[in-house]
Amino acid sequence: MKKTIFFDKYFALLHAKTSSISGELLINVAEFIKLVSLSNRKVILIGNGGSAAIASHVTVDLTKAANIRAINFNEGSFLTCFSNDYGYEHWAEKAIEFYADKGDLVILISSSGQSENIINAAIKAKKMGLGLITFSGFQSSNPLRSLGDINLWVDSEHYNAVETAHQSWLLSVVDYIVEGSLDKGKI
């Protein structure tokens, strides 16, 4: 029985972190995404490691389930080429430079909010006048947290708690859009 205490505490932590977000903030994210889609623009999602996996999952769900054009840059040859040619700290900003169009929305995901390539991508997105939503965690003063039009932050330094919250929040936004809640006021 005592061995289950770890999991009881673990799932309590995940519940606390995923439910720490304001529903109004998630509605703002959904409205931003929907506005971009209605303007015939696309959503660009970028992250590293586990955050890249989240970006891939959300890209597929936005495209397939919500009928919203979305892309990410997680293909191996793309990443290694851009990292080799521009340096790892600049690959994401160069991807935005090459692929973003006026009116697009960039969603950047970084557990720490301190990844140099993600910070550079945020700066590039702002310079290009793109919409920007950030997802970060760890320190409240992380640099990514202050760069977006909308910034979502998880008050935790536990990678899996931060990543679980980011994924849950993003997928809940997709489900909100798919269910038509923006148009019908339902959940």
**2 three-class SS:** helix
Let me know: does 161 contact 13? Beta carbons within 8 Å: yes
Given a cut of 70, whether residue 87 has pLDDT beyond it is: yes
Structural domain range at position 83: 2-184
72 is written with which tokens?
Answer: 């990410």
Q: Among residues of the chain, what percentage have pLDDT more than 90?
A: 94
pLDDT in tens, 14-48: 999 999 999 999 999 999 999 999 999 999 999 99
pTM as predicted: 0.94
Question: Based on the structure, what is the number of domains in the chain?
Answer: 1
Given a cut of 60, whether residue 182 has pLDDT beyond it is: no
Mean pLDDT calculated for residue range 97-123: 98
Provide the CB-side half-sphere exposure for 117 (13 A, CA). Answer: 23
Which CATH number goes with the domain that contains 8? 3.40.50.10490
Let me know: does 36 contact 131? Beta carbons within 8 Å: yes
Per-residue confidence (pLDDT) for residue 148, from 0 to 100: 98
Per-residue confidence (pLDDT) for residue 181, from 0 to 100: 60
Let me know: does 154 contact 143? Beta carbons within 8 Å: no
Query: From the CB of residue 166, how many other CB atoms can be counted at a distance below 10 Å?
Result: 28
pLDDT in tens, 124-147: 999 999 999 999 999 999 999 999
